[in-house]
Amino acid sequence: MQATHVVFLAFILLVSVGGGLALLLGGSALRRSSATGGRVPVDAVVVDYSNFTRPSKVTFDYPVPGGWRRATRVEGLASVRTSGLLVQQGDRLTVWVHPQRPDDVVLEQVASPRALGGVVMMVAGVAAIVLGLAVSAGVAVLFLRA
């Protein structure tokens, strides 16, 4: 095997394995920083609820350090659940608040599209590493036979 062959193989390995590792790490970070990351459940009080609009709209007060905040959120799915059919003023519900950013509040702790993007990046990273190793092995065999 010549020196140029070794350099070519090293380049293939560096690009494929390095790129695959970068995709793995980036996907992992993206998955961890998705919309649900770091939120805590907080009891909120319903101020207004409108189920006559599609999607439904709920206004609620929730406690934050130093007082209360009011937020209005639109819900795609029925995430405000009570014992009856109608949501009344004063009903309690659980909202999810980011501790460092009290204005960042959601009705349900569901995964965001960013989390799916992170998983896709991680799968692509593993595929790049495996493909790079397979191509490098095949090229090495060809170079050894030449």
Expressed as residue numbers, the domain containing 55 is 40-106
Residues 45 and 102 in one domain: yes
Tell me how crowded residue 13 is: count the other CB atoms within 10 A of its CB: 17
Claim to verify: residue 30 and residue 44 sit in the same structural domain: no
Alpha-carbon distance of 108 to 42, in angstroms, equals 11
Sequence-ordered alpha helix ranges (H) in 33-73 = none
Shared domain check, 101 and 86: yes
Query: Do 76 and 57 share a domain, yes or no?
Result: yes
CA distance 46 to 6: 68
Domain end among 75, 90, 106: 106
- Copy the structure tokens of residue 104: 């960042």
First to last CA, the chain: 8
- One domain, residues 85 and 136: no
In a shared domain, residues 57 and 97:
yes
Q: What is the pLDDT of residues 31-70, one digit of tens each?
A: 776 655 678 888 888 888 777 767 778 888 999 888 888 8
Tally the domains of the chain. 2
Residues 80, 118 within the same domain: no
- If one compares 46 and 86, the residue with the highest pLDDT of the two is 46
Mean pLDDT of all residues in 122-144: 89
More confident: 56 or 85: 56
